[in-house]
Amino acid sequence: MIYRRKYHPDTAKPDHRHEIRYSGTMSSRPIIVWFRADLRVHDHPALAAACRDAEQIIPLFVFDERILKGKFASSNRNRFLLECLKDLKHSLVEKGGNLVVRSGSPETILVELAKESDAKAVYYSGDFTPYALSRDKQIEDALKSHDIEARSFGGKLAVTGVMNIKTTGGDPYRVFTPFWKSWANVRRRDVAQPPHSISLPQLTVGSLPALDDLTTKAELSDAAAAGGETEARNALSAFLDENIDDYGSTHNDMGADQTSRLSPYLHFGCLSPREIETQLPDSAGARAWHRQLAWREFYYYVLYHYPHPGREFQERYRDMSWVQDEKSLQAWKDGQTGYPAVDAAMRQLRREGWMHNRGRLIVGSFLTKDLGIDWREGEAHFMQWLLDGDMANNNGNWQWIASVGVDPAPVFRRLYNPSSQRDKYDPDGTYVRTYVPELKDVPDNYLSEPWQMSDDEQAEYNCTIGKDYPEPIIDHKAARQEALERYRSQ
């Protein structure tokens, strides 16, 4: 593995198969650098290679309505995207360039812009979702038909060529731990340096759209993090300075909130996972966090090799009978289930466009096991609100908590008691009281199950159950038995 005694991923031998090679001769014809989910200038292999291969480059972003208004459209992510692009534009202008903006179909726009500018090639960071792979194949064919090179680079994931990792039998991994051990041993590419300067040919740059053109105000989280590479690098620096060494012991403490919160920046490519690896210290906390980075890449790997995100990975659960209960589903979405740990997490999602990872496990288990509601309902709701709403990871994690995905653990291992989860991971009630203010005066011994308070205690603690805070919408003990039987019958 990369770390056996000392944890320094940056000392691993680079993967020279993917090293950017410079021939020494720069083309007089420009190269288009098509930015997608890689909105940064640091460790951007496609950008670095274009600046070495051509005298002029055209940094381009295309607003594609198929993504902006598609199945998993999100006002939160669209706002975050706009902030990322404003920051990227600023960085490019500082280097003498600019961000060229177009709207429409990339298949059409890339060919038109290449012909207009006499560009010789389009460089971009590879992506691995079924949609991206299909789109990129169409674009590659369209460009080649006009004698324009299309060249894909690593950069989205820490391991270039991660999809080529196989078992000793030559098959894709289906379980995380053996994948992770192989992943940790793969040679890493060198970190690409940001360009010192950029020269842009004469052409119409275009302008970024207004916020109202991309979002619906009612679907925006008031306390969402700001987007952009500058914000991302500041957040990374703070995490490495303050919390990384204790990550292994504190990341489940919901009230302490000492997770990295870097997932939105990784999703939009404001940070390079490969560059982050080179900055991790030698500590148990860093090793624990690096394992989470491997989980992120594992879900891309799974989706690439098994490109059917709409159905359960485990075939035996594809005919599962899910409960149809719109009232309970809406209570779950609104954080009105009567279970404080669930409600706090769901309200955090609405307020911040983000949710603590332990909270994601609690609410996912509650939806699919306690309420028996289809995991795809949870997947869709998360994709609407999460800044880090990522098809591969959101889908993989929802299938994981629903016990229908790649994880081979028995169902009861992923069937959480929301009350005991609050006791264990928010023992002083900081998290619940932050997001469920109706319970701010309720003492710790009642905070997991406030319905246990007597009428006099409810009056004393300013929380009348059924009025100020809802009664539990389901009995966990009974729901647990029903869930076990439902899965057992498949």
Widest distance between CA atoms in the chain: 83
Tell me the H-state helices in 121-210: 130-144, 176-185
CA distance 322 to 79: 34
Domain ranges in the chain? 26-155, 316-488
CA distance 407 to 312: 12
SS3 241: helix
Q: Provide the CB-side half-sphere exposure for 169 (13 A, CA).
A: 5
CA distance 338 to 335: 8
CA distance 233 to 271: 7
Residue in the structure block whose two tokens are 């496609």: 46
- pLDDT tens for the chain, 490 residues: list them: 333 323 344 433 333 333 344 445 788 999 999 999 999 999 999 999 999 999 999 999 999 999 998 889 999 999 999 999 999 999 999 999 999 999 999 999 999 999 999 999 999 999 999 999 999 999 999 999 999 999 999 999 999 999 999 999 999 999 999 999 999 999 999 999 999 999 999 999 999 999 999 999 999 999 999 999 999 999 999 999 999 999 999 999 999 999 999 999 999 999 999 999 999 999 999 999 999 999 999 999 999 999 999 999 999 999 999 999 999 999 999 999 999 999 999 999 999 999 999 999 999 999 999 999 999 999 999 999 999 999 999 999 999 999 999 987 899 999 999 999 999 999 999 999 999 999 999 999 999 999 999 999 999 999 999 999 999 999 999 999 999 999 999 8
* C-alpha separations of 413 from 221, 342, 406 in Å: 33, 18, 14
For the domain made up of 26-155, give the CATH fold.
Answer: Rossmann fold (3.40.50)
Identify the CA nearest to 425 among candidates 261, 259, 260, 251.
251
Q: Provide the CB-side half-sphere exposure for 392 (13 A, CA).
A: 24
Q: Per the CATH hierarchy, to which homologous superfamily does domain 316-488 belong?
A: DNA Cyclobutane Dipyrimidine Photolyase, subunit A, domain 3 (1.10.579.10)
CA distance 163 to 128: 9
Tell me if 118 sits within 8 A of 105, measured CB to CB. no
Q: Provide the CB-side half-sphere exposure for 393 (13 A, CA).
A: 18
CA distance 432 to 252: 14
> Which residues, other chains included, contact 134 with Cβ-Cβ below 8 Å and sequence gap of 6+?
none
Tell me if 165 sits within 8 A of 297, measured CB to CB. no
pTM of the model: 0.94
CA distance 427 to 184: 35
Residue 319's DSSP bridge partners are: none
Q: Residue 174 has which token pair? A: 């289906």
